[in-house]
Amino acid sequence: MKIAVLGTGEVGRRLATKLVSLGHEVTMGSRTADNPEATKWAEEHGGGAASGSASGSGAGSASGSTSGSASGPDSGSAAHGTFADAAAPAELVVNATGGLVSLAVLESVGADGLRGKVLVDVSNGLDFSEGFPPKVVTPDGGSVAEQLQKAFPEARVVKTLNTMTNTVMVDPGRVPGHHNVFLSGDDEDAKAVVAELLGSFGWTSDRIIDLGDLSSARAAEQLLPLWLRLYGKLGTGDFNFAIATTPGT
């Protein structure tokens, strides 16, 4: 699948790398076409240099400039470009930018670049301006996911993966035992696409909890204060939330 990963931070790089390894044609989007992190990532995964249009640098074609990466474990392709460049050819867009800037990032993509596409929002609105632990910002008393959906009604927003560290996102087996990933979204087909993608990461269907419509993203985003406390206490992000239920429920 042609996938744009918006954001060059740890989360974006981890997700993009996993997606390339699964055979997807991934373009990492950032504010500028020559972002050093994105350039480095694309090079490491066999991608070409950025150009004005991501589709000219290997993205959008599995046989593009990244086809020379046969020596690596990656079976997909890696490219980079601006947020808009990355989103333009993509069938699915991953928002891996910080939740406080996500709206501005998507505004730079524009409605045309998002129309009809599945928009996987893994962000959290964390305000570090007063130190650690950051405050969790809930736009308009809701969630970042709802804020994005409201701004881009023709995107098909699905909230997921925001309740764990990036290494666990792409490798649930890293944390032993039963634990869960949550899904929120108004578009059932979009949620099914994302559930399948999660499945390819190792999230078996019994681990995926569909919380309901997109307003349930509030519940997932409000888990962050607990996540941050546990992170501080355990000294590692290698943990995850689990829901213990009685048999039959």
* Residue ranges in contact with its own copies by CB under 8 A: 135-136, 141, 174-179, 182, 209-212, 216, 218-220, 222-223, 225-226, 228-230, 232-236, 238-247, 249
Closest approach, Cβ 47 to its own copies, in A, equals: 33
Closest approach, Cβ 228 to its own copies, in A, equals: 7
Distance CA 137, CA 236 (A): 23
32 vs 236, beta carbon nearer its own copies: 236
145 vs 220, beta carbon nearer its own copies: 220
- Which H or E element spans position 201? helix 188-201
Closest approach, Cβ 116 to its own copies, in A, equals: 27
Contact partners, residue 61, CB within 8 Å, separation at least 6: 25, 55, 77
Token representation of residue 220: 């997932």
Cα–Cα separations (whole angstroms), residue 162 to 79, 144, 194, 230: 24, 11, 14, 15
76 vs 172, beta carbon nearer its own copies: 172
31 vs 241, beta carbon nearer its own copies: 241
Residue with tokens 């020596």: 71
Let me know: does 229 contact 201? Beta carbons within 8 Å.
Answer: no
116 vs 141, beta carbon nearer its own copies: 141
Closest approach, Cβ 94 to its own copies, in A, equals: 23
Let me know: does 68 contact 45? Beta carbons within 8 Å.
Answer: no
Closest approach, Cβ 1 to its own copies, in A, equals: 29
